[in-house]
Structure 1
Amino acid sequence: MNNPLIPEDRGEHEMFWVSLQPHLLSRGYKLRPRYDPEWTPSWTKPGGKHRGFYEDSLRGGAKLLDGIRISDNMKVVFKPVATSSDELALAILLSSPKARADTRNCAVPVLDVVDIPGNDERVLMVMPMLKEIFNVPFRRVGEVVEMLEQFLYCLQFLHENNIVHMDFCRYNLMMDGSRIIPKGWHFCNAYSHDGVSFASAFEWNDRWSVRPVQYYLIDFGLSRQLQDASTRVVGDWGQDRTVPEMSFEIPSDPFKVDVYQLGNAIKEYVAAYTGLRILDPLIENMTASDPVKRFTADQAVLYFQERKAKWSKRAMKSRIWKKGTPFKRRFMVKYRGENPITV
């Protein structure tokens, strides 16, 4: 039990995870100390410093929480989902041996499904802890091309199986960061290995030096598997509200919506970095305002393949920079080995 002399520091939403901690432990998963029912805040112990010095001061979220798979020390993420949801059904389908055998499938794999005691309506999906792609700078053209290629093939794979994601947007594009950041990163602090150290101490490798990098598509909460490719939908959906045909009255082609969303997500990177103009023609065709004129996933893949065949190794190795990066900082990165995480 919590010490009654210590003010409760955990939010109401965190107590859900506290209640599950013993069950998850019995299933082979360990949560951070903060979620132990017997937890005492480190900063309240004799000689304790400001709470900011302690990892257990970091709060988790209501929708997701990190943990460790005890058998191999793998970092994982837990997500509560409804047992009747399309999200769970699709996650299981896309994690099946048959689906994983297709190398185009980069949907995040579900490692386990854990029951919630006393609750028949929800379960916990267990997935690998991934890294947001925008939290680590791109350094070369080929790094962006590698990412785009994997997501294009994944889009094609999904559409071949009549699956529409409906939120193929920036915040759902992730990567395996294990080789990029060998020391790992904290779930609550993207630029810290342990959650409390400063970003200046954060060590990472650029993607080019550890390629290939595996990318993943997450969050199938709005996704569905359609009966056939002629199905149309209405409403607003996903993070990207710029989809031209989005409407509550006029049905839209959800496959073309996916294409637009991915194209627009990549467009953000082209706009944010120098040296990525070679992707402009593809992006223009993926984000055409008229969905009839917009590429299908197959057309996007074919166009990409044709363009890629003409790009030289030298072009792929060319450096790119976030726009506005000062010349001095570029020089220090290129010739002096500096590797700031924010540039």
Structure 2
Amino acid sequence: MAESTRDTPDTPEHGLKLHGRLDQSEHFWRDHYQWLFEQGYELRSRYRPSWKPSWKGTKKPWDECTDGLYPLHNSAIDAQRRSDGELLMLKRTKKSLFPHETEIGLFFSTEPISGDPRNHCIPIYEILQVPDDDEIQIVVMPMLRVHDDPRFDTIGEAVEFFRQMFEGLQFMHSHNVAHRDVTFFNVMMDARELYIDRYHPCRPWRKLDLSANARHYTRTQKPVKYYLTDFGLSRKYKAEERPPQEPIIRGADKSAPEYKTTDACDPFPTDVYLLGNLIRENFTEVQLSPSETKRLGFQFMKPLVADMTHDDPSKRPTMDEVVERFETIRKGLSSSKLRARVVKAKDSPIAGFFRALSYWHRRVDFTVHGTPSIPTPAKPCSVL
């Protein structure tokens, strides 16, 4: 088991102002609480029309109560499936703004494509049409968490992350779908097996009841599967339409060179850039701000990442070429390199010392028991 990576809450600014009261963006969920309940999904108690804050009349702070916490995203919320208690994510989407989101999500969630192990698109369990607004749909999905929390323990764990993401984007491209928004928070993981304790969706470093930090294993102990999410900007083409020339639509990462030099581009090379830039910003060579910490030990990825982020889109490799080159890189890494600890440049000496102690204990155990240095992917989220 590894230590928790988060110690302090990240309360949204609006939460501090409202002190636990419902934000305007939450009124939709309150107004549809009963309808969602009838569809088989139960929201937290704060969205019940008759809700009374549990901290009222007590000395307990509102932000230490499960019904006081704000969702992490305005358009998405956690819910419990009534049939089995599984925690899920409900996402509100507007057809006129994102006309292709549910179509593409369902395409990758339908057999035989959904059962392909190369498929790393978040599975969609159900699409709910809101009864009082033809424009709004609710997408029901598994509860995922950001791909790098908890932190990567070994180089081999990160190598498996790279492999799965290269494979996932290659799979999308092989079906003529461009993602168009491959950014940090759209790359998630299924952490159900990774965590010993169920964690709270709004404070994922805490237990579901907020009583303590949620305990977890390392990815080597409990391998995970990573997913590409959010198809709001994605587009699907016919094979004969490639390469397409699409008007520029900027997602969260607006740094692609073609965004600054043209009004239209082929989104497939831009996808390659976006995934390469994600790795560059978080693993290889970007100068980070004083508040951020850079991971060390990933120099072996620099040549491939440099080609993926080439200023000229025509000179970037395709995802087929990326996968092929990465496989050569992966096979060239020694077992000792793969088992090496992921160190951050700004880790404090004291924290680094204790992390190193627990790491070496795990490493000896893994070596003795022959645990693979590159984790085998976990069982994927099923499509209901």
Corresponding position: 1:122 with 2:136: yes
Q: Relative to structure 1, is the Cα distance of residues 248 and 105 closer, same or farther in structure 2, using a 3 angstrom cutoff?
A: same
Task: Percent identity, please.
Answer: 31
TM-score (structure 2 length as normaliser): 0.81
Count matched residues. 329
Which amino acid counterpart does residue 121 of structure 2 have in structure 1?
A: A
Tell me the residue number matched to 1:322. Answer: 344
Q: Relative to structure 1, is the Cα distance of residues 303 and 12 closer, same or farther in structure 2, using a 3 angstrom cutoff?
A: same
Corresponding position: 1:229 with 2:242: yes
Alignment of 1:36-115 (within 5 A): 36-45=48-57, 47=58, 49-60=60-71, 61-83=73-95, 85-115=99-129
CA distance in 1 between partners of 2:183 and 2:25 (Å): 27
Q: Relative to structure 1, is the Cα distance of residues 248 and 315 closer, same or farther in structure 2, using a 3 angstrom cutoff?
A: closer
- For 1:261, which of 270, 274, 277 is the aligned residue? 274
- For 1:238, which of 251, 259, 264 is the aligned residue? 251
Q: Relative to structure 1, is the Cα distance of residues 248 and 294 closer, same or farther in structure 2, using a 3 angstrom cutoff?
A: closer
Q: Deviations over 1:278-301 (max 9, x none)?
A: 111211111111112111111101
CA distance in 2 between partners of 1:240 and 1:11 (Å): 27
> Is contact 2:75-2:93 (8 Å) kept?
no
Corresponding position: 1:173 with 2:187: yes
CA distance in 2 between partners of 1:168 and 1:260 (Å): 9
CA distance in 1 between partners of 2:125 and 2:162 (Å): 25
Cα shift at 1:144 = 0.8
Cα shift at 1:330 = 2.5
> Is contact 1:276-1:320 (8 Å) kept?
no
Cα shift at 1:248 = 7.4
Q: Relative to structure 1, is the Cα distance of residues 116 and 245 closer, same or farther in structure 2, using a 3 angstrom cutoff?
A: same
- For 1:216, which of 217, 220, 227 is the aligned residue? 227
Cα shift at 1:334 = 2.3
CA distance in 2 between partners of 1:331 and 1:40 (Å): 46
Secondary structure of the corresponding residue to residue 60 of structure 2: coil
CA distance in 2 between partners of 1:308 and 1:59 (Å): 41
Secondary structure of the corresponding residue to residue 9 of structure 1: coil
CA distance in 2 between partners of 1:186 and 1:143 (Å): 24
- For 1:305, which of 327, 335, 340 is the aligned residue? 327
Q: Relative to structure 1, is the Cα distance of residues 235 and 29 closer, same or farther in structure 2, using a 3 angstrom cutoff?
A: same
Which amino acid counterpart does residue 216 of structure 1 have in structure 2?
A: Y
Cα shift at 1:195 = 6.2
TM-score (structure 1 length as normaliser): 0.90
Corresponding position: 1:14 with 2:14: no
Tell me the residue number matched to 1:204. Answer: 216
Q: Relative to structure 1, is the Cα distance of residues 338 and 193 closer, same or farther in structure 2, using a 3 angstrom cutoff?
A: farther
Q: Relative to structure 1, is the Cα distance of residues 202 and 169 closer, same or farther in structure 2, using a 3 angstrom cutoff?
A: same
Which amino acid counterpart does residue 281 of structure 2 have in structure 1?
A: E
Alignment of 1:188-199 (within 5 A): 188-194=202-208, 196-197=210-211
- For 1:279, which of 274, 286, 301 is the aligned residue? 301
Alignment of 1:119-158 (within 5 A): 119-158=133-172
CA distance in 1 between partners of 2:330 and 2:130 (Å): 47
Cα shift at 1:333 = 1.4
Which amino acid counterpart does residue 283 of structure 2 have in structure 1?
A: V
CA distance in 1 between partners of 2:360 and 2:59 (Å): 35
Structure 2, unaligned runs of 5 or more: 1-18, 285-293, 362-384
> Is contact 1:236-1:248 (8 Å) kept?
no
> Is contact 1:66-1:75 (8 Å) kept?
yes
> Is contact 2:20-2:62 (8 Å) kept?
no
Q: Deviations over 1:212-262 (max 9, x none)?
A: x10011111100102322211232411111101114744322100000000
Tell me the residue number matched to 2:199. Answer: 185
> Is contact 2:198-2:214 (8 Å) kept?
no
Bigger drift between 12-21 and 189-198 goes to 189-198
Secondary structure of the corresponding residue to residue 298 of structure 1: helix
Q: Relative to structure 1, is the Cα distance of residues 234 and 195 closer, same or farther in structure 2, using a 3 angstrom cutoff?
A: farther
> Is contact 2:69-2:202 (8 Å) kept?
yes
Backbone CA RMSD of aligned residues: 2.1
Which amino acid counterpart does residue 229 of structure 1 have in structure 2?
A: R
> Is contact 2:296-2:345 (8 Å) kept?
yes
Secondary structure of the corresponding residue to residue 221 of structure 2: helix
Which amino acid counterpart does residue 356 of structure 2 have in structure 1?
A: K
Secondary structure of the corresponding residue to residue 273 of structure 1: coil
Cα shift at 1:91 = 0.8
Report which structure shows greater RCO (CA 8 Å, sep ≥6): 2
CA distance in 2 between partners of 1:57 and 1:246 (Å): 41
Which amino acid counterpart does residue 36 of structure 1 have in structure 2?
A: R
Q: Relative to structure 1, is the Cα distance of residues 92 and 72 closer, same or farther in structure 2, using a 3 angstrom cutoff?
A: same
Q: Relative to structure 1, is the Cα distance of residues 239 and 313 closer, same or farther in structure 2, using a 3 angstrom cutoff?
A: same
Structure 1, unaligned runs of 5 or more: 1-6
